[in-house]
Amino acid sequence: MIPLMIRSYAKYRLFLLMLLLITGSCTEDFLDVENKNQVALNSFYRNKDDVWMAVNTAYNPLAFGGMFGVNYFLLINSFDDRILFETSLLDDFNISSSSGTVSLMYQALYVGVWRCSHIIYNLRTRNIPDLDDNTRNNYIAQLKTLRAMYYFYLVVLFKQPYFYDDTNLPVDYLAGYGNSDASLFWNRIKEDLLWSVNWLPQKWPSVDLGRVTRGSALALLGKAMLYKHYHYYMQNGQGGSAGDIADLRTGKQALSDLIGSGTHNLIQPKEPFTFKDYVYSYLCNFSYIPLSAGNNVYPAENNDESVWEIQYSDERIAQGWLPGWQWSGSLNGQYFSPHESSYRNHEIHPNLFLQYDTIGTPPGFDRDPRAYATCYLDGDTMEFRPDKAYFKPYRSGINNKKIAQGRGFIYSGQPTVGFGLKKYYFPVYNEKDAPKNDPVNIRIIRYSDILLMFAEYTMLLNEDQSDGLYWLNEVRARVGMAPAPALTASVIMHERDVELATEGHRFLDLVRWSFDPQWKIVWPSVFGNNAFVKGKNEYLPIPIVEINKNKGLLKQNPGW
C-alpha cells in the first residue's frame, strides 16, 4: 500500500530500505567505513525525508502476495462456504503447517510488525533536527495504525503467536521466542488506535491518497473490539464481563464517531435509476476505473465509501516487487479473474446467488441488485466500454471452469451454469501484463461494513436498537431494497452475507460468531460435510518452519 505520490525514483530507494529493515546491517572493524551509496542504519533517519521513505515501507506488507496480493483471498475465500476452489482441497481445509501459502501470510504480517515497530523505535529515540513534533506524531500514528492491522490479522488468524512492539524488538536472531497471550495483541491494538486518532487527518490531499486516516483508525478500533468480544471474551467464558462491556462500548463509540464525522458515505444510485444505476453504484466500489451508466458516472478507487484501501497500480518496477516480480500490482487477477489467461481458481457457489432476496426489490429486478453486482451469469457483458476486448459475454467453460457443475451443485431455477466473481473483476482488466499485474485496489474496510458492525454492536449491548436498524436499512436502501423490520442475529447475518459477499469477510464472520451460541453456527450445516473440525479450523496453523526456528518455544495451535 504505497501512497500514490511515490514515483519511480523513490521506489528504487524504497527497495533498498525494505532490505535494510529486514536484514539490518553487518560490519567488521576493518570495513567500518560509511558507504555513501548504500542505505545503512547508521546513515539513515538523519532527516525528515529519510523518515518519510521509511514510513512508506510500512504500508507495503499488506499488499504483499502473502496477504491481499493473493494469498489472503486464496485461503480465506476458499474457506468461505459461498465460494468454490477449483478442487475440494482448500474448500475442505486441507492445509498443513508446512503450507507455503500460510507461511507467506505469516511472514508478511510479521514483516509489517517489524517495520512499524523498528521505525517507531527510531522516531522515539533519535534526534531528527528537521522533523517537528506534530509531523513526528503523525508518522507514529500512521505506523501504530498500520501495526494494529498487522496485529489484528495475526491474532485473528493465528490465535497466539509471538507478540512484540517497539519496546522489545526481537533483535537476537539466534534466540527462540514463544507464544504470547492474545490479550497483549488486543490491548495494544486498542491503546495504539485510541492514541492515533488524535494525530491522523480526516482526509489527505490527493497526492497522499492511500495513507491511513482518522477514519481508518476508528474503523479498525471498532472492528477489533467487535472481534475481541468473540475471540477473547466469549471464547474464554468472559462474555458480559466488565471488561467485555467496556471494550464493546469503546468499539461502538469509535464507529459512532466515524459515522458522525460525515467523511464517508454510501455511493448512491442516480436518476433515472436504471438497472445499471443500481448495479454500478455498488459495483464501482470494486472497480479500478469509474463506471458509466448513461449520463451517470460512479466513482471507483478511493471514493467516499472506501475507509481503508490497499493501493496497487500496473506500473512496472525494474528492481521491486509488490507482490509479484517487477510489478506494483497484485496477482489477484492472475488467480481469480474471468480473463481467459487467468487460473480462474474460484467460482461462486450457487447457494450465494439464491441467498439474495426476491421480494422487496426495486423496479426491474427479480432479486436484490447486489446479486447481479456480485455474480457473473452466462451472457453478462464483462466490460462497459464497447471498444475493449472484454466487451463480450461471460461464458461458463471459458471464463470459469464449471466447478459447481463438476461437483453436482446445480439447483432448480438456477439461471446460469457457473457463477463468476464480479467484484474486482468488472470491467475485466486486460491491459499491459494482464492478468498478472492487477492494478485494482483492494478495499479492506468499506463504509457499509461500518454500518453493519454498528448495528451488531447495538444488538450485542442490548441498547436502543433503532439506530442500528436504521443504519442496516441504509445499506439495504442504497440498492433499493425494502427495509428489514427488526434487528436480529439472523438479519445481521443475512445482510453481511449479501452485502460483503466474496470480499474476504464471510469465513471470519462465521468463525467469530461460532464462539457465541446465540448465532447458532453449526459447522456441518454450514459446509454440508464434516470437513471443518471444531477446535482446530477456527485458526490457521503456525508455520512449522517458525516453530523449528524458535527452538520449540513457539507451540502449535490446537489440532495442527
> pLDDT tens digits for 246-285?
999 999 999 999 999 999 999 999 999 999 999 999 999 9
Question: What is the average pLDDT across 213-235?
Answer: 99
The per-residue pLDDT of the chain, averaged, comes to 92
Q: pLDDT band for 34, please (50, 70, 90 cuts).
A: low
Report the pLDDT value the prediction gives residue 323, as an integer from 0 to 100. 47
Report the pLDDT value the prediction gives residue 320, as an integer from 0 to 100. 45
| SS3 letters across 346-389 | EEECHHHHCCCCCCCCCCCCCCCCHHHHHEECCCCECCCCCCCC
Report the pLDDT value the prediction gives residue 412, as an integer from 0 to 100. 83
Question: What is the average pLDDT across 353-363?
Answer: 97
Per the CB < 8 A criterion, the answer to whether 378 and 396 are in contact is yes
Distance CA 454, CA 118 (A): 34
58 versus 437: which is more confidently predicted?
58
Question: What is the average pLDDT across 27-52?
Answer: 66
19 versus 136: which is more confidently predicted?
136
Report the pLDDT value the prediction gives residue 327, as an integer from 0 to 100. 66
Question: What is the average pLDDT across 494-510?
Answer: 99
Report the pLDDT value the prediction gives residue 129, as an integer from 0 to 100. 93
Distance CA 138, CA 115 (A): 16
Looking at residue 217, its amino acid is A
Distance CA 254, CA 267 (A): 22
Backbone angles phi, psi at 149, to 5 degrees: -70, -40
When mean pLDDT is compared across 113-122, 313-322, 517-526, the lowest value belongs to 313-322
Pull the grid cell for residue 500.
Answer: 460483503
When mean pLDDT is compared across 283-292, 459-468, 485-494, the lowest value belongs to 459-468
Question: What is the average pLDDT across 162-187?
Answer: 96
333: helix, coil or strand? helix
Report the pLDDT value the prediction gives residue 325, as an integer from 0 to 100. 45
Residue 6 has pLDDT above 80, yes or no: no
Backbone angles phi, psi at 371, to 5 degrees: -60, -40
Pull the grid cell for residue 159.
Answer: 490465535
Report the pLDDT value the prediction gives residue 24, as an integer from 0 to 100. 44
Residue 442 has pLDDT above 80, yes or no: yes
Distance CA 275, CA 363 (A): 9
> Does the reported pTM lie above 0.75?
yes
462: alpha, beta or left, given left = phi > 0 and alpha = psi -120 to 50?
left
Question: What is the average pLDDT across 54-71?
Answer: 96
Report the pLDDT value the prediction gives residue 483, as an integer from 0 to 100. 99
Greatest CA span in the chain, whole angstroms?
A: 79
Residue 321 has pLDDT above 90, yes or no: no
DSSP letter at 1 equals: -
Report the pLDDT value the prediction gives residue 414, as an integer from 0 to 100. 87
Per the CB < 8 A criterion, the answer to whether 367 and 357 are in contact is yes
Residue 505 has pLDDT above 70, yes or no: yes
Question: What is the average pLDDT across 290-301?
Answer: 98
Report the pLDDT value the prediction gives residue 11, as an integer from 0 to 100. 40
Distance CA 497, CA 371 (A): 11
Q: pLDDT band for 40, please (50, 70, 90 cuts).
A: low
Residue 128 has pLDDT above 50, yes or no: yes
Question: What is the average pLDDT across 301-322?
Answer: 82
Question: Cα Rg for the chain, rounded, in angstroms?
Answer: 23
Residues 286, 83, 350, 521, CA torsion sign: negative
Closest alpha carbon to 380 in 431, 416, 336: 416
Question: What is the average pLDDT across 73-88?
Answer: 98
Q: pLDDT band for 543, please (50, 70, 90 cuts).
A: very high
Residue 190 has pLDDT above 90, yes or no: yes
pLDDT tens for residues 199-210?
999 999 999 999
Report the pLDDT value the prediction gives residue 432, as an integer from 0 to 100. 85
Residue 108 has pLDDT above 70, yes or no: yes
Whole-angstrom CA distances from 97 to 62, 101, 106 are: 22, 10, 11
Q: How many CB atoms lie within 10 A of CB 388?
A: 14
Pull the grid cell for residue 147.
Answer: 501495526
433 versus 325: which is more confidently predicted?
433
pLDDT tens for residues 377-431?
999 999 999 999 999 999 999 999 999 999 999 888 889 999 999 999 999 999 9
Residue 69 has pLDDT above 70, yes or no: yes
Question: What is the average pLDDT across 86-107?
Answer: 97
Question: What is the average pLDDT across 144-160?
Answer: 99
Per the CB < 8 A criterion, the answer to whether 394 and 382 are in contact is yes
**Which run of H or of E encompasses 298?**
strand 296-298
Report the pLDDT value the prediction gives residue 173, as an integer from 0 to 100. 85
Percent of the chain with pLDDT over 70: 91
The total number of residues shown for the chain amounts to 560
Q: For 460, how many CA atoms within 13 A lie in the half-sphere containing its CB?
A: 30
Percent of the chain with pLDDT over 90: 87
Question: What is the average pLDDT across 96-111?
Answer: 98
Residues 203, 205, 206, 212, CA torsion sign: negative
Residue 7 has pLDDT above 80, yes or no: no
